Amino acid sequence: MKKLKARLAKARSMISIKTYKRPMLFIIMTMVLLNLLILVLAAFIALAIDDDFTSFFDAFANGSLKWMMSPNSIVLIENPQTLILAVVVLVTGMILFSGTIIALTTNAIKDYFQKKKSGSGKILLENHIVILNWNNKVPELVSDLLHLENRKVTVMILADIDKEYAEKQIVNATQQIQKTQNELSSLNVLVKKGDPLIRSDLEDISIAKANAILIMSKDMHEEVVKDLPKSDLNVIKIILNLGPIEFEKQPPIVAEVKNIHTKAKIMALESVVHTLHEHTILPICFDRRLGQIIAQTIINPQVEDVYLSLFSFEGSEVYQLPKVDFEQCLANYSQVIPIAKSSEGLYVLSLDDRHLTDQNPTPILLVPLKIKPEKAVLPQSVYLFGNNNKLQYILDSFSEYEKLYHQEFKAEFIPDDRLAEFVSKLNQETTAATIVLLSDDHQAVDALDANVIDSLIYLEGHLKREGINIIVELLEPKNDHIIRDFNIRNTIISNKIISLLLSKLALYKETAPFYENLLTISINDQGEDEQSLRLVPAREMLNESFPLVFSSKKALILSIYQALGKKAIPIGIFHQGILTLFSGNLSEKNPLSLEEADILVFMNL
């Protein structure tokens, strides 16, 4: 008896497992068995009530089974009892079998649409951009890809995120860009809920055929070990998970990391883990870069506009031009501005990559210019409120600027709970000062920039004196319009800058060394920061009568380049507060006027 119970329990367990693993197959088999049981029972009854059947098999084959499979056969039945039995068998079969099949088919179709709606299942793609993980930088990153001209772009996002929520955030970001419906159709964005650490999820998005891969840092700030945040650990795991994959296109893997030490760890992994040897991995510590950009913006507020323009796909972009000499490029190439040397040739600024090699070696009429002595950068007192990962990098940048400009930059961090005391003291002073409000990046997504908005409200109500510059850092781009009416000198949207640079590195990996040098303060033996931006008003640089008229953009570029002793090259101009980076046919005869109030944008060479 015990053995029988054990066998029954084992059978029930096996049935339960099969039911859980293949519920649809189990239901179909159950329906088939029920119908078979009904047919057998009906055959026995038919044999008992109708003498036309000679045996059970005759009653089963020519009776119950025939009635169910061929409903028209019941019209030939003469025995009333047999006719009633046949109708019962037919109706029961239709309800149990046909009804079940219809219900299962309907459910299967519903599941199919539900899977597509949720992003489940395998998606066959190629030459697409893959974004792994989600944070609030992703919508801005995707929306900037709309500026890619003459190119259809497919973006595949794999993250533990609700598909409808992610799509709504992306739509909201793209609506901020004034694009036609036809231009919007050039960008395809797909979202799949999944885990980048699961190999099957990666295979479902055709990861092996990707053109570029971006690994976003999750919003997890706690450290698992010293100098390794939980978010960076997740990035490292994803990189290792990508290692064994044989990519068809050798895509760059751009990884966003929070800690500068994580970058060194990833570079070490790339050299020692054999599965990573063939991959191009670009770990970027954006907090460090942003700290330097914020420090530069404090000294010169308009430099942020230049960075945003360089990082964006809108307007002029940085490309690599191989096997070309700097002076040769300046003399002969008509659509590019050389801005730095690379291992392969030059980095150049151009409107697009279709005209990089266009040449027009026509003589350019230079304008002789007299250069004024460079004015010293005025010392500043900077007070920083709000604590995030960029704070230390901002303070470090000011230390470097003290060496570079030989001036003292007083940069002091003040805790938020001392804001009232600080404002009261500042109201009694007369010296110029700059207040920088940094956004707390440890806040929940729906509370981003809360500390900045709170501090702004207090400053608006209690800061009474003039001559105070307020610079604000925001993490959430949507909050920009909320604070526009405050008395703010500059708003730095950190996540937007990061998003633009991420997409730029993913699509043009060969320009990574240029951006690395551009965003690094590196003082050479002559005490200069090479390959850096410089903004100077025309009246402070040129000892000339204004306006100055040049025959073309190339004439302005070459005239100032020569006057500066070939140490810097102009790449753009601020005219009436609007930035224009030089682009198009630079040699084209089109008079260009330089006003004394214009601000020239240079790249130090």
pLDDT score recorded for residue 553: 92
Q: What is the mean pLDDT of residues 152-156?
A: 86
The count of residues in the chain is 605
Pick from 547, 548, 551, 549: which is nearest to 365 by CA? 551
Write b or e for each residue in 574-602: b if 16 or more Cβ atoms lie within 10 A of its Cβ, otherwise e: beeeebebbbebbbeeeebebeeebbbbb
Dump pLDDT digits (tens) for 477-536: 778 888 877 877 777 777 778 888 888 888 888 888 888 888 877 666 666 667 788 899
**Res. 208: pLDDT tops 80:** yes
Given this model, what pLDDT does residue 569 score? 93
> What pLDDT does 142 receive?
86
DSSP string spanning 78-110?
Answer: --HHHHHHHHHHHHHHIIIIIHHHHHHHHHHHH
- Architecture category of domain 19-118 in CATH: Orthogonal Bundle (1.10)
Q: Which two tokens stand for residue 180?
A: 């036609």
Find all residues with CB under 8 Å of 280, minimum gap 6, and list them: 250, 251, 252, 253, 509
pTM (predicted TM-score): 0.73
Homologous superfamily of domain range 129-278: NAD(P)-binding Rossmann-like Domain (3.40.50.720)
Least confident segment among 167-171, 225-229, 233-237, 277-281: 225-229
What CATH number has the domain spanning 380-496? 3.40.50.720
Res. 111 pLDDT band, cuts 50 70 90: low
CA of 64: how far to CAs of 17, 57, 98, 355, in Å? 34, 10, 16, 81
Q: Is the dihedral of CA 498, 502, 503, 504 positive or negative?
A: positive
pLDDT one-digit tens code per residue, 248-291: 888 999 998 888 888 889 988 888 888 888 888 888 887 887 88
Query: Tell me, what's the pLDDT at 526?
Result: 66
Determine contact, residues 383/436, Cβ cutoff 8 Å: yes
Confidence at residue 236, expressed as pLDDT on a 0 to 100 scale: 92
Looking at 172-186, 293-307, 570-584, which range is the least confident one?
Answer: 172-186
Q: Domain ranges in the chain?
A: 19-118, 129-278, 380-496
Average pLDDT score over residue span 556-563: 92
Do 129-278 and 380-496 agree at the fold level? yes
**Distance, CA of 204 to CA of 190 (rounded, Å):** 12
Residue 227 or 322, more confident: 322
Average of pLDDT values for 300-328? 87
